[in-house]
Chain A
Amino acid sequence: MFRLNRTSVAATLLAVFLVGLTGSDALAQARTKIKYALGDVVSIDELPLLIAVEQAKQRGVDVDVVSFKSEEVASQAVINGQADVGQGTPYAAVQKVNVPIRFFYQLSSLQFFPVVSVQHYKTWKDLDGQEIVVHARGSGTEAIMQLMAKEHGITYKNVSYVPGSNVRAIGLIKGTIKATILDAANKSYVMKEAPGKFAILPVGQVKASDEALFATKAFLDKNRQAVQIFVEELVKVNRAINANPQYVIDARKKLGLLKDLPPKLEAEIMPFFEEAAKGGVFPNDGGGERAAKNDLEFFKLSGALKGDNLKVEDFWELAPLRSALGNVK
């Protein structure tokens, strides 16, 4: 009796141990962790990302968003394998670094506004031979301004570099800058602070990426399922916002995101997403080949990309997005 008991206890313990082992293994396989490098501080424009992260978590994909000082640092984190997915548009790095890195999703397209002081300029032609201020050498803001100069047959006397839309906005208001290019939030700030003093010049169809997601090819191949789930959630969020921007407010409340937001910034959420939805900033289809082609053209113009025969497949991995779009109705 005693001997039988001892055997059965040992067998039971062994069984429990084995079940536990396989169970925890299965659990580990079910949950995938993605280290996400963001080259910015988390603010209201990251709300679609944060909502998608929460929804992906419910489907077994834990996306850990880490903020870095700049896009370059975030790109380096991905290149050196310290992060899995990065956010930004490091096309030059993708072209030049030996590690195969691919974009797989367009988070948002560029939305910038050339703002000029009406006291000095009213149209693009007035900027002929004048000084303009942009974000940085080789940046998207410079490329937009050069593209417009080409379109209107004008040349600038000088291009100065002042990083940060908020800094350039203050420069405009103080009168030290007369013509520059701002993001949506700072454009609204300038127009509200000094009504009638500034005008926005039309930019036409510039549809390059502002933020895209990228990862090493090895990571994308190894974690296809998790990446697809994450992309599906991102697409769903964008479609919901484009259908009704109020979705961001509701989802933020429901998921308890950015709880410490000051009331001033909280009030900006709705106008920001209304304008973004109207301007087609958040693509319904994740960008894909269309975004890739636009980006290659745009970043070649900006000087970031070199060479003539630029191929989409050398920069983008379209498979995860295609599979995700097939699953999202």
Chain B
Amino acid sequence: MRLDAVLAALRERRTASGARDVAASLPGTSAAFWQLASFVVFFGAWEIAGHWPVSPAFPPFSQTMTALAEMIADGSLAKAYLSTLQPLVIGIAICGIAGVGFGVAMGLSRNVEWLTLPVVIVLQAAPMAAIIPLITYVYGIGLTSKVLAVVFMAAPVVVMNSYKGIRNTHPSLVQMCRAFLGTRSQEVWKILLPHAAPMIFTGLRLGLAMGFIGVVIAELLITPTGVGDLITYHSSVANYAHMFAAVTSIIALAAVSMYGLERLERRLFPPKIRGL
């Protein structure tokens, strides 16, 4: 009871100072202007490069956007994403449950750490494009292989962040818990996990970014489905504007997801809570 009161007071202080920090760092109009300007410069350069042309197969930005609008209008893009998001969502859900679970367990137990850490490090270092053919030999060419490609890409960063989050908990907090005669369960649920939460969330966000890479590699290398199918098909029939539109759409979706999650992360865990 007394431990709860101390923790609540600490949290209140941190949240208040964190909120002040967020308010202070809110982007002003000039930041928005420069962000917009960078997009204008980039897309402008793309348009010029397309007309120049850099390559006869390189479409200008305007043609790519027209193709994107066509693909949205005829429903082919929505249909493709329905298929692409399937392995991505399943894979990230697995990482969210099992990956965070393993990471936390590694942080809490030296035995689990010794058993799991080498596997995670090997997975992190392994080039995914080389592993995918091995996955197909074992699991064939179906959904399982694509989910595994997402998991193999996303899991290491999710596991490592959860593990480091637990391991990097400030020792004085743990000592405080023990001084207040907190049990091991209270230490885990009230000190370690809340302290590790920002890093776990960052791990999930970065895991999603890796998952996007995994799912596209899988769709290009295993069987062409979803966005991977749009890219390979339009490339094979020389519809380069449509091919670029498909590639652009997946990059945009990944970037917007990352941006949204980062904003959410800042809101949930202000810099003070994240120990910054």
Known: A76-B55, A96-B240, A139-B236. 16 other contacts (CB 8 A): A76-B57, A79-B56, A80-B55, A93-B57, A95-B238, A97-B57, A98-B56, A99-B56, A136-B224, A137-B232, A161-B229, A162-B141, A167-B141, A171-B141, A174-B140, A304-B237
Question: A83-123 interface mask toward B, CB cutoff 8 Å, 1 = contact, 0 = none?
Answer: 00000001011011111000000000000000000000000
Within the assembled complex, what's the spacing in Å between the Cα atoms of A92 and B233?
11
CA distance A79 to B224 in the complex (A): 24
Mind listing 14 A-B residue pairs with CB under 8 Å? A72-B236, A79-B55, A80-B56, A90-B238, A92-B236, A93-B238, A96-B239, A98-B56, A136-B232, A138-B237, A161-B225, A161-B229, A162-B223, A163-B224
Instruction: Please determine whether A303 and B238 come into contact, CB atoms closer than 8 angstroms.
Output: no
Task: List the 10 closest pairs (A to B, CB-CB), nearest first.
Answer: A93-B238, A92-B238, A92-B237, A96-B238, A137-B233, A99-B56, A97-B56, A80-B55, A138-B237, A304-B237
Q: In the bound complex, how far is the Cα of B136 from the Cα of A162, in angstroms?
A: 12
- In chain A, residues 41-97, which have Cβ atoms closer than 8 Å to a Cβ of chain B? 72, 76, 79-80, 90, 92-93, 95-97
Determine which of A93, A97, A98, A136 lies in contact with B233 in the assembled complex, contact meaning CB atoms within 8 Å: A136
Task: Point out the residues of chain A lying under 8 angstroms from B229, CB to CB.
Answer: 137, 161
Q: Contacts of B238 on A, CB cut-off 8 Å?
A: 90, 92-93, 95-97
A161 to B83 alpha-carbon distance, docked (Å): 14
Q: Does A176 contact B (CB under 8 A)?
A: yes
Separation in Å of the B74 CB from the closest CB of chain A? 15
Binary interface encoding of chain A residues 113-149 relative to chain B, with 1 for a CB under 8 A from any of its CBs, else 0? 0000000000000000000000011110000000000
Q: From B237, which residue of chain A is reached at the shortest CB distance?
A: A92
B235 at interface by CB-CB < 8 Å: yes
**Chain A residue nearest in CB terms to B55:** A80
Interface residues of A in 285-329 (CB under 8 A from B): 303-304
Contacts of A171 in B (CB 8 A): 140-141
**Complexed CA–CA distance, A160 and B83 (Å):** 14
Nearest opposing residue in chain B for A71, CB measure: B236
Q: Are B224 and A72 in contact (CB under 8 A)?
A: no
Does the CB pair B224–A161 fall under 8 Å? yes
The interface bits of chain A over 249-293 (1 if a CB of B lies within 8 angstroms of the residue's CB, else 0) are 000000000000000000000000000000000000000000000
For window 171-212 of A, CB contacts with B under 8 Å fall at 171, 174, 176
* Residues of chain B with a CB closer than 8 A to A97's CB: 56-57, 238
Partner of B223, one of A80, A92, A93, A163: A163
Q: Whole-angstrom distance from the CB of A186 to the nearest CB of chain B?
A: 15
Q: Hey, which chain A residues are within 8 Å of B239, CB to CB? A: 92, 96
Give Cα A318 to B216, complex, Å.
41
Q: How far is the CB of B133 from chain A (nearest CB, A)?
A: 10
- Residue of chain A at shortest CB distance from B229: A137
Given contacts A90-B238, A138-B237, A163-B223, contact A176 B140 (CB under 8 A): yes
A243 CB, nearest partner CB in chain B, Å: 36
Residues of A within 8 A of B233 (CB): 136-138
Are B55 and A72 touching (Cβ within 8 A)? no
Tell me, rounded to whole Å, the shortest Cβ–Cβ distance linking B226 to chain A.
Answer: 12
In the assembled complex, how far is the CB of residue B232 from the closest CB belonging to chain A, in whole angstroms? 6
Chain A residues with Cβ below 8 Å from B236 are 72, 92, 136-139, 304
Q: How far is the CA of A96 from the CA of B237 in the complex (A)?
A: 9
Question: How many whole Å from A236's CB to the nearest CB in chain B?
Answer: 33
Alpha-carbon gap, A99 to B56, bound state (A): 7
A80 x B57 contact (CB < 8 A): yes
Residue of B nearest to A90 (CB): B238
- Given A76-B57, A136-B232, A303:B237 Cβ within 8 A: yes
Q: Which A residues are in CB contact (< 8 Å) with B224?
A: 136-137, 161, 163
Which residues of B, 207-233, contact A by the 8 Å Cβ criterion?
223-225, 229, 232-233
- Among B28-64, those with CB < 8 Å from A are 55-57
User: Which residues 128-172 in B have Cβ within 8 Å of A in the complex?
Assistant: 136, 140-141
Which residues of chain B are near A90, meaning CB under 8 Å? 238
Closest to A177 in B: B141
Separation of A139 and B55 alpha carbons in the complex (Å): 25
Please state if A79 and B140 are interface contacts (CB–CB under 8 Å): no
Chain B neighbourhood of A163, CB < 8 A: 223-224
By a CB distance below 8 angstroms, the chain B residues around A92 are 236-239
What separation, in Å, do the CA atoms of A199 and B136 have in the docked complex?
26
Whole-angstrom distance between the alpha carbons of A167 and B236 in the complex?
20
Residues of chain B within 8 A of A76, CB atoms compared: 55, 57
